[in-house]
Chains A and B, each alone.
Chain A
Amino acid sequence: MFFDVLLIGIMVGAIYTLVTIGYSMVYSILKLMNFAHGDVYIFGTFICYTLLSKYQLNPVLAILTAAVLGGILASFVEIVAYRRLRAGQHRMISMITALGAAYVIQNSNELKWGNQVMAFPSILSAKTFQVFGLAVPMTQIIILGIAVGLIILFTLFLKYHPYGKAILCVSEDIPTASLMGIPINRTITMVYFIGGMLGVVGGILYSTSYNAVSLAMGFRGTIIAFTAAVIGGIGSLGGALIGGMFLGICENFIGVYVSSSYRDPITFLLLIIILLVKPTGIMGAVEQTKV
């Protein structure tokens, strides 16, 4: 029982990490709480749902299409609602436009797909196999594999690819990066695109492992992403991993051993406590105020 819960926790944690990465990157570059993140990922998940259940598309193709569309939507939101506000305005302003953008996407999703919980087709094999006497479902292993694979891929991209290095430069210091000839706007749009894509993949994996998709998962995803990013420390991939895993595992243990209706309140309470004890997160560094 304990190990089953732990295993599901790790799987959920890996999915949360995927959702968190894009969010954390955006935050570390722009210091912007992207409220639209969750609604973008639920948009992609809905697209995938339609492609799978209505058009019986090949799952890999469906996931890729949904991820690309999610990425495009995320960059579109950035271009329309955030770019104009980047220079000279208080961060709070773009945070509120983010909220507005979130509502627009959420409402559009609702108009198209409604607000009911829908059965998401299971696209992975339902086989189980034995490890140390535990029955481990194949689905969980595949999901964990995809999530960890994408995290590693993204880390390598950031470290070795010129575009990845550009992202790191911009997140360090925007003016200096632009003096070095890095196209700021294009890099930031790319961050949104990648973040949206990873988020959509995370959303699809989450939906397929629970066989359900609903509108309400969107906003919850935003909160989960921000909570995980804050717990781990914003802006670092390791932080996103720690935060995502911590949240996924905690949530499952609370849901199983305490009470499932108090799962979310306790998760939020945990967040408040962590913010109070260590406001910069587990991996975060202290930011100095410049005079």
Chain B
Amino acid sequence: MEPTLENHGKQTGNPMTFKTVLNHPMFKKTAFLTAAAGCVLLPHIMTDTYYLGIINYMILYVILCMGLNLILGYAGLLSLGHAAFYGLGGYTTAILITRYGFGFLSCLILSGAIALLFGILLGLPTRKVRGDYFCLLTIAFGEIFRLVAQAWIGFTNGAMGIVGIPIPSILGWSIRTEVDFYYLGLILLGFTWITLSLLVHSKFGRAFIAIREDELAASVMGINTAVYKIIVFGIGCFYAGLAGSYLAVYQTTVTPSNFRLEESCLMIIMVIVGGMGSLLAPIAGVIIMTLATEYFRGIAEYRMLIIGVIMVAVLLFRPQGIFGTSAFKG
């Protein structure tokens, strides 16, 4: 029962409605523990490596989309260059491991750091450039990255990409099978989720949600909107760098075609289908879109057509996404 004037704001009577059960802390805790246990035990239940491979790609995209959701759903910046940061991470790891013999853990950190650095550099113009122009800027950056990766044959090996990335190992744990990669992905995903929820629920997080809701009002309240936007953009890109690093060792190759504009668009649509502005909502988007593309694999030539139709249909009929809290505010 909802608190009303009659019962003086107290919840009386039978509180066991479906909604109260869902919101009860005990239920939340149990659900969380069950989900966590399910995630850990999953490879022992589902032993088929083909399905596990699909799940590993889903984890990869969830990490990417959580970072993008921070940019899109929390900071309200439309970035169509997310694949470039993903690619920066991938190429950093690939080059450092194959040419300079770095360990995987240091590569992972460096990949994130380089994506963060470029993210902040590209975020700097948000001080001056308005929303749509910023979107164009991210497209330009993404295309520059891909074209340079294709043209700079001496450093990136051109369109052939970098092949033969060795089996990574962290502190003696060498990651070779799909199951190992699943756990590596799960660790990265857990790290992403925990750091992001700490960030979003901090003072910092509330500030950039205020910016998304009303930039002018937020700046009048004394929030330095420019700095916040740059930092949020950089942090979102950091996770893309981590995902790129994971992709490099998982795929054992990176090529420029891994990081095309279509990838950025696919990530955007995953975030939107799941719902912007809610931390875990992109998971739903990733699952739906991955299963859809897997399901339609037989008619692969229609893939972009289907993605495009889903994109238009979702935005026309449910712009806040399936689990989203808020759509863009005008």
**Chain A residues in the interface with B (C-beta under 8 A):** 31, 33, 80-81, 84-85, 88-97, 99-104, 106-108, 110-111, 219, 223, 226-227, 230, 259, 261-262, 264-265, 268-269, 271-272, 275-276, 279, 287, 289, 291
Q: Majority SS of interface residues in chain B?
A: helix
| Docked complex Cα distance between A93 and B76 (Å) | 11
Tell me the minimal C-beta distance from B135 to chain A in angstroms. Answer: 7
A265-B143, A265-B151, A276-B129 known; A89-B328 Cβ under 8 A: yes
Q: Which single residue of chain A is at the shortest CB-CB distance from B271?
A: A96
A103-B304, A279-B128 known; A89-B312 Cβ under 8 A: no
A95-B135, A275-B125, A275-B137 known; A111-B311 Cβ under 8 A: no
| Docked complex Cα distance between A275 and B138 (Å) | 12
Tell me the minimal C-beta distance from B44 to chain A in angstroms. Answer: 39
Asked if A271 and B78 sit within 8 Å, CB to CB, the answer is no
Q: Which A residues touch B316, using CB under 8 A?
A: 81, 84-85, 97
Interface residues on B, range: 35 or more
Most chain B beta-carbon neighbours within 10 Å: one of A88, A99, A101 = A99
Restricting to B118-155, which residues have a CB under 8 Å from any CB of A? 125, 128-133, 135-137, 139-141, 143-144, 147-148, 150-151
A84-B316, A97-B316 known; A33-B135 Cβ under 8 A: yes
Q: Which B residues touch A103, using CB under 8 A?
A: 265, 304-305, 307-308, 311
Q: Which single residue of chain A is at the shortest CB-CB distance from B319?
A: A93
| Docked complex Cα distance between A96 and B307 (Å) | 12
| Docked complex Cα distance between A230 and B265 (Å) | 22
Q: Which single residue of chain A is at the shortest CB-CB distance from B316?
A: A84
Q: Which B residues touch A108, using CB under 8 A?
A: 305
Of B136, B143, B309, B330, which contacts A100 at CB under 8 A? B309
| Docked complex Cα distance between A100 and B309 (Å) | 6
Is the C-beta of B24 less than 8 angstroms from some C-beta in chain A? Answer: no
Q: Lowest 5 A-B CB distances belong to which pairs?
A: A100-B311, A90-B328, A103-B308, A107-B305, A104-B308
Asked if B151 and A262 sit within 8 Å, CB to CB, the answer is yes
Tell me the minimal C-beta distance from A19 to chain B in angstroms. Answer: 16
Tally the A-B contacts, defined by beta carbons under 8 Å: 140
Q: Which A residues touch B311, using CB under 8 A?
A: 96-97, 99-100, 103
Q: Which B residues touch A102, using CB under 8 A?
A: 308
| Docked complex Cα distance between A84 and B147 (Å) | 36
Of B128, B144, B308, which contacts A101 at CB under 8 A? B308
Is the C-beta of B261 less than 8 angstroms from some C-beta in chain A? Answer: yes
Restricting to B285-330, which residues have a CB under 8 Å from any CB of A? 301-305, 307-312, 315-316, 319, 327-330
Asked if A92 and B78 sit within 8 Å, CB to CB, the answer is yes
Q: Which A residues touch B148, using CB under 8 A?
A: 262, 265
Asked if B129 and A275 sit within 8 Å, CB to CB, the answer is yes
14 A-B pairs within 8 Å (CB atoms) are namely: A81-B316, A88-B330, A90-B328, A92-B76, A99-B80, A99-B268, A100-B269, A107-B302, A230-B136, A262-B148, A264-B143, A265-B144, A265-B151, A272-B125
Q: Which A residues touch B261, using CB under 8 A?
A: 219
Q: Which B residues touch A94, using CB under 8 A?
A: 315
Asked if B135 and A104 sit within 8 Å, CB to CB, the answer is no
Asked if B128 and A110 sit within 8 Å, CB to CB, the answer is no
Q: Which A residues touch B130, using CB under 8 A?
A: 279, 287
Of B135, B301, B327, which contacts A89 at CB under 8 A? B327
Asked if B330 and A89 sit within 8 Å, CB to CB, the answer is yes
| Docked complex Cα distance between A65 and B53 (Å) | 49
Asked if A279 and B315 sit within 8 Å, CB to CB, the answer is no
A103-B304, A275-B133, A276-B129 known; A96-B144 Cβ under 8 A: no
Asked if A92 and B137 sit within 8 Å, CB to CB, the answer is no
Q: Which single residue of chain B is at the shortest CB-CB distance from A89?
A: B319
Asked if A268 and B144 sit within 8 Å, CB to CB, the answer is yes
Q: Which B residues touch A106, using CB under 8 A?
A: 304, 308
Asked if B305 and A104 sit within 8 Å, CB to CB, the answer is yes
Q: Which A residues touch B129, using CB under 8 A?
A: 275-276, 279
Asked if B330 and A279 sit within 8 Å, CB to CB, the answer is no
Q: Which single residue of chain B is at the shortest CB-CB distance from A226?
A: B136
Q: Which B residues touch A110, using CB under 8 A?
A: 301, 304
Is the C-beta of B209 less than 8 angstroms from some C-beta in chain A? Answer: no
Tell me the minimal C-beta distance from A281 to chain B in angstroms. Answer: 9
Tell me the minimal C-beta distance from B158 to chain A in angstroms. Answer: 9
Of A90, A230, A287, which contacts B327 at CB under 8 A? A90
